[in-house]
Amino acid sequence: MKKILTCLILLFLVAVTYAGCQQRATDSEQFSSEERIVIKFSHVVSEMTPKGLAARRFAELVHDRTGGRVEVQVYPNSQLYMDGEEVDALIDNRVQLIAPATAKMTQYFPQLLLFDLPFLFEDYAQVHRFIDSDEGQAFLEKLRGNGMLSLAMWDNGFKVMTSNRPLRNPSDFQNLRFRIMPSRVLDAQFMQLGAQARDLPFSDVYAALERNLVDAAENTPSNIYTKKFYLVQEHMTISNHGYLGYLVLTNEKFWTSLPEDIRLILEETLAEVTAWEREAAIYHNQRDLELIIKTGQIEPYHLSDEEKKEWKKALLPVWDTFLPEIGEDLLRAALR
Ligand code: LMR
């Protein structure tokens, strides 16, 4: 009798659990496969960077606001595609969102060379003044072609130099091999200082530094910290000599074919995340710079105002070279 009772209780418990599971439909099950929309968002940096965090936040907010109808799948750390591959993947609609550094899009949109000019922006406020201005917005609007459409600009921050020898004066750069992103301005910047530039994908930078295939690099504290470049470099000059920002790009055909209401939610959410990302970029770069210094693994040096003046003077010819391509009006708008 006791056995029968135990069996009955067990059966009852199994039935209750099963019924509970049946009732708990997941979000995605509420929509048919035709209604569900999957957006693949590929990027090359760590999840713990301003871009990585913003991509995740966008995915979460979109999930909540569409009741799970739109699923943004974020692939960080070049997991899906690395530099060079992700643009082709976007054009072919194998991914629907990417956020490459502007430098990496200069071959498609040459006026983006503007953002790589050394010492163009003093601080984040100047960057935002430009991007939010009528001229800045009109410029972003124009960034479409090859099936791509730009949706927003996100910050990373200001670059510092890392190297195997101290870099204080322009003459210290002689013959060093620098890893760069693919931008003719960045190439010219290092040539102007008597160094050489090697264009390498972000995912190869750590190994290239470790194996001495290059001697030095420029990047933001958030990238240097999250990818541990400070372990394979001896010196870090806090020069803030250039800005690194991102273009959030989509596949135009995909975007314009979305249902109107969904596209509106995505665009509003992206605008909100863009504002949030600006704060995150300031916070993370400041914090990661402190964390790098705290490791004691790299010798930090803050460039003095006098030294900065020398660097600026040495790099001025780069501005002259690219002015015709960038255009005086755009440059003037960025300098306001
Ligand atoms: C780099 O290649 O150094 C950066 O553009 C990586 C990134 O996306 O921040």
Mean pLDDT of 187-204: 98
| Residue 142: band (very low, low, confident or very high) from pLDDT cuts 50, 70, 90 | very high
Mean pLDDT of 157-174: 98
Say whether pLDDT at 324 is over 70. yes
89-126 tens-digit pLDDT: 999 999 999 999 999 999 999 999 999 999 999 999 99
Q: In angstroms, how far is the first alpha carbon of the chain from the final one?
A: 89
For residues 196 and 178, is the Cβ–Cβ distance under 8 A? yes
Q: Which of 47, 74, 156, 214, when mutated, tests ligand 1's pocket best, judged by the most ligand atoms within 8 Å of its CB?
A: 156
- Centre of ligand 1 to C-alpha 198, Å, is 14
All structural domains of the chain: 36-334 (3.40.190.170)
| Residue 187: band (very low, low, confident or very high) from pLDDT cuts 50, 70, 90 | very high
pLDDT at position 17 is 44
Say whether pLDDT at 19 is over 50. no
pLDDT at position 243 is 98
Nearest CA to ligand 1 atom 1: 202
pLDDT cut 90: percent of the chain above it: 89
Is the CA virtual torsion 253, 153, 100, 39 positive or negative? negative
- Centre of ligand 1 to C-alpha 6, Å, is 62
Mean pLDDT of 55-73: 98
- Centre of ligand 1 to C-alpha 290, Å, is 20
pLDDT at position 33 is 82
- Centre of ligand 1 to C-alpha 164, Å, is 20
42 - beta bridge partners? 75, 98
Say whether pLDDT at 25 is over 80. no
pLDDT at position 156 is 98
pLDDT at position 34 is 80
Helix (H) or strand (E) holding 182: none
Tokens linked to 245: 């920002």
- Centre of ligand 1 to C-alpha 102, Å, is 9
Whole-model pTM over 0.75: yes
26-60 tens-digit pLDDT: 555 678 888 999 999 999 999 999 999 999 999 99
Instruction: Compute the mean pLDDT over every residue in the chain, rounded to the nearest whole number.
Output: 93
Count Cβ atoms within 10 A of the Cβ of residue 260 and give its class: 0-12 exposed, 13-18 middle, 19 or more buried.
exposed
Q: Which residues of 157-185 are buried (b: 16+ CB within 10 A; e: fewer)?
A: bbbbbbbeeebeebebbeebbbbbbbbbb
Nearest CA to ligand 1 atom 2: 202
Count Cβ atoms within 10 A of the Cβ of residue 257 and give its class: 0-12 exposed, 13-18 middle, 19 or more buried.
exposed
pLDDT at position 22 is 44
Is the CA virtual torsion 49, 51, 52, 55 positive or negative? positive
Q: Which of 219, 229, 288, when mutated, tests ligand 1's pocket best, judged by the most ligand atoms within 8 Å of its CB?
A: 219
Question: Pocket residues for ligand 1 (CB within 6 Å)?
Answer: 44-45, 101, 156, 181, 202, 219, 223
